[in-house]
Structures are given as structure tokens and as C-alpha cells.
Structure 1
């Protein structure tokens, strides 16, 4: 089969390209930054340059493919450029899905996120749950719009699309807030952990497998949560300490204190730019929040079977340590 992958230089997209090529498929990789395309060419992917917000570039890359993996997204918490998040996550998704419809592409997989649920407040929702706001950060909001106001209406009009909703994705090569926290921990400068923060930790290779299964086996029009085990950040660092010998932080910051700091940061950032880790929306996002999802449906229909935290955390920590 011949597939187009958007976001092919990203954390999930690059590993998806590699796995598809390993399985004998042809891959067209849509790449925004030409300087990042060398590794994809070496793997054997056909590289096309262009931005997903550019309809002509998307259509040109999409011609003659059997399916589309729309993985591209802008994932930055504390990002001051809110318009860039909207352009990529909403308008970019609209351009890709409309191009699919225009060209009559027979199959597509769109990468949404359980972030569209926002803070699940300890609950573990399935695909039937729908959060209606408010949102803690602009990433949640723009992914919600792309999911519910772009993808689902196009599915209702007949677009042959499957939606996958990963949990918090981690693994070697990650560049997210999780990566930053793990590096701070390994350097011994993470003095405290935000209390109550709990994620569905999903190893990147399992997410890639879920994408491919969704393309091959998923029911058109359905959404599938790809979520690993729900584990608190405090427990993650305890396991990390067992694996590395680096002591985990003993202090835990109460969610109420982080919420108060978020309010203060909101006032400060009107006057002076704050680093992403101290931005008000970052603090809101880690104030005792839980990002959880029930992947039972993906298990039944896609064979999705995420690994336990320790199994994925060990190679992740080894990778991060090698790059300190």
C-alpha cells in the first residue's frame, strides 16, 4: 500500500514512517521543514515539502495514495503563539481532510487526543464522553475543534475516516513537557512534583501500532482511545528512581498552590514573557489534573495492548540519560 503521512518528522510521525516502511509499504512524507527531511529519505520515504495549511501542497502530496495518516499537529503547552496552534491543529486538519474528500482517498486515520476531554477529574472516560469546556490550554481547545467541528462533520458527510485518540505519549525522542520533566529529574534539579497529576501513559511504539491497526482494521467513522495505564507523576518518578538510582523528589506541591501560581503568572505574562514551564496555562495544566482514557474498545477491535509503564520507561530513561 502507498500511504501519505503528515507530521512525518514529528515524534509519532517519524516512527510511524519507519514502521510502515519496515512492513513493505510505500510512504509519502509531507514535510514542512526541508532541513529535517534527510533522515526520511535515507529510510526510503518519498519526501514532499509543504505545509498542511497549504491546500495545493497537500493535494499534490496526496495524489495516488491508498490512505492518509494525518498525524501533524502543533503540541506546545505555554505557547504564546495561539494563532499558530489554531492554524495547524484546526485549519491544517481541515485542509487535509477536505483534500481527502476532493481526491476520493479510500481510507484515512486522524490523530486526535484524549486532551479533548481536558481534565477528567479522576474519571476514565471512553469514546462516548464529550467534554464541552472550559479548556485548560489552547492545545486542548484547538484539538477539540478539529475533532468535533472538523473531523466528525466530515465523517457524517461520508469521509472514510477513523479517529485515534492517544493518551500522553512518551518514549525515546519525545520533546514534550514530559521529556522536560524527565530530564530535570535525571539532572537532579527537579525538587518537587505537582501533586495529583495523573496521565494515561502510552509508549510511542504502541501508539504507532494502534495507528496501523486503525488503518487496517478500524471501523470507518469510529474513534478509538489509545491509552496506556493511568499512573500519577509521583509514581512514575518512584519507578524511575528504582530503574536509575536517581532519587525521586520528596516534595509534592499541592494543586491549590499551583492554581494560585497560575493566577499570578496570568498577570505577570501580560507584562513580561514567561518561559513555557512557568506560563499560566502550563501551571493550570499540572494543577492536580488527570488526563485519562479507557482503551477497551481499541483492545477489542484493534488488538491494542499497551505495555506497562516500567517496560516503556526503562528505554526512555536510558535514551534521556545518554543525551544529558
Structure 2
């Protein structure tokens, strides 16, 4: 079996590559020339550079690859951006890049047996926000309120509408684990004895440990199912304190100041942080998109379909996943 993983140098992509190697799969890591290969040290990893910004260039690259190496059996498209300075970049990378890739694969005669696209729960936006919260369902109408979510939804729709294109779309909830840097900031803050939360209405959050997401990806490859979209997450939700409390326990911090700020204050801070990012030229963790995500109260989603059709069950409840993550941060001197 031959697999291509795009975005292979990233947090999720590197774990997909590792699992493929464990399974004895011929893994090709799709990277940019400037991409770090820090988390891809294994000599068995094959590398290929792909330029998603140009369909014509992609066709050339794919045809050249095909001439020397044949076709990939499966493709996992994990490349994308979650934060950027210019919101247009979300659409350029997440939507147009995916569109270029899908079209180039078809034009170059490189269409795989199955194309696994990593989307996001964010494509649905804030639904069922009245208490008691009910899970977002696959049958709900998406109404994304972030540029990231909108770009991912456009990419989904393009893939779905592509004639005779075999796909599986996965919509993970909050993905955490070793190498991840956004939830890591929470751990850094808690180590300094401060935990910051937003909003006075209850918030219910769902998570998926990175290794469980990778498990779902390989089930998508193995099972004789295509043309489906699935939520990927633990079946239960957690209140907004659960994650930080587990981090505090694993760090052995006795006292933490839990600050709960009003939503309007988060908006002001996010806009200021976004302005500073533009001045510094570096995208930050806080921005207007992140504000919308933190403002949303209901992140429950119905995972019955992936459990029934792919036989997926998360191996890592939040407690176990946080423990392994914090241990990794400590080992790697991140904390």
C-alpha cells in the first residue's frame, strides 16, 4: 500500500506518517520546500514537494511523480492553515489549494482509491446554543461564523460535488496531543498559576486525542466506505474547566487562579492581539476567528455514524490523553 500524507510536517500530519510506518505502509510525505522535517526523522519516509497554489504546477509535479513512482493508493489531505495574518489566506490555502489538488489529481490521472480530507467541526458554526445543549448532527445545516470554518466548508462542498471522486471527509473536534501548540499555551499559563476562561454561560467542549484521530483516518482507508462525512471526537462533552483541571493535576500545581472574563472583554483583547499580529508580521493564537470559537458554547457533536459505520471508538479519554501530552511536553522541555 502506498499513501500520500499532505501537511506531513505538521502536528497531525506527522502522527499520520508515523502510524503508516508502524503498519509497514510505503508513506510519502507531501511537504513544502521550507517545511521543517523535525518530526519526520525516520529514514523510511519518502518526501515529495507539492505546490497547491498552482494547478498547472501541481499537474506537472504529479505527472513527474507518476512516471517514476506510479500512483498513490490513498491520499490523506491534512495540509491547511488554522491561523494567518490575512483572512484571504484561509481561502487561498484551505479552499483553493484543495480545489487545485483535486483537479490536478484528476487531470494527471492520479486519482487515488480514496481521498481522506481533514475538515473541522467548525464548518457548522454555533448551533443549538440554547440550554440544554443538544449535539450538532451531520444533517444540520452548516452556518460557519469563522473564516477558517467557511474555507473548510467550501473545500468540503467542492470535493463532494466532484463527479466520481472517492472521498471520506473527517470533521474532528478539538485535536490535542504532543507537538500541538495552541492547547500547549494553556499548559504554559497554568504552570504560571493562571487559567483564563471566557463567558458566564456554561460551555460544553468535545475533544479528540491526536492518536485517536489517526486511528479514525486509517479506519477510513481500510473500511469499504466512501462518499461519507463523519464527526471525529469522544462521544461525551466536557465542561470548560475539565481540560485545565487535568493539566493542573498532571503538572502538580496546587493553586491556580481561575479568571473568567466576559465575552466582550475577549473580543477587545482578540482585536488588539490581531492588530499586534499585523504589526509584528507573525500570526498569533488570539484573533477574531479565535474569539468566535471561544465564544461558542456548544461543541457537542453526534459521533454515532463513525462508530457504527467504521467501528471507531476513541482509545484515549481526556484524562489519559492529557496525561500523555503533558508527559511529552515535560520530556521535550516544553514545560
Structure 2-normalised TM-score?
Answer: 0.84
- 1:258 maps to 2:266: yes
Q: Distance in 2 between matches of 1:130 and 1:266?
A: 32
Change over 3 Å in CA distance of 1:278–1:20 after alignment to 2: closer
Are the counterparts in 2 of residues 171 and 204 from structure 1 also a CA contact under 8 Å?
A: yes
Structure 1 residue 269 displacement after superposition: 3.5
Point out the more displaced range, 297-306 or 6-15.
297-306
- 1:313 maps to 2:313: no
Q: Secondary structure at the match of 2:217?
A: helix
Matches within 5 A, 1:215-294: 215-217=221-223, 219-228=225-234, 229-246=236-253, 247-259=255-267, 261=268, 265=271, 269=275, 273=279, 276-294=284-302
- 1:174 maps to 2:180: yes
Matches within 5 A, 1:77-116: 79-102=84-107, 103=109, 104-116=111-123
Extract unaligned runs of 5+ from structure 2: none
Partner of 1:2: 2
Structure 1-normalised TM-score?
Answer: 0.86
Extract unaligned runs of 5+ from structure 1: none
Matches within 5 A, 1:23-172: 23-34=23-34, 36-37=36-37, 40=40, 42-55=42-55, 56-57=57-58, 59=62, 60-61=64-65, 63-76=70-83, 79-102=84-107, 103=109, 104-120=111-127, 121=129, 122-133=133-144, 135=145, 137-148=146-157, 150-154=158-162, 157-172=163-178
Q: Distance in 1 between matches of 2:224 and 2:216?
A: 10
Greater fraction helix = 1
Q: Distance in 2 between matches of 1:39 and 1:265?
A: 33
Q: Distance in 1 between matches of 2:92 and 2:11?
A: 20
- 1:213 maps to 2:219: yes
Q: Distance in 2 between matches of 1:111 and 1:284?
A: 21
C-alpha RMSD of the superposition: 2.7
Structure 1 residue 305 displacement after superposition: 1.1
Q: Secondary structure at the match of 2:260?
A: strand
Structure 1 residue 271 displacement after superposition: 12
Are the counterparts in 2 of residues 9 and 31 from structure 1 also a CA contact under 8 Å?
A: yes
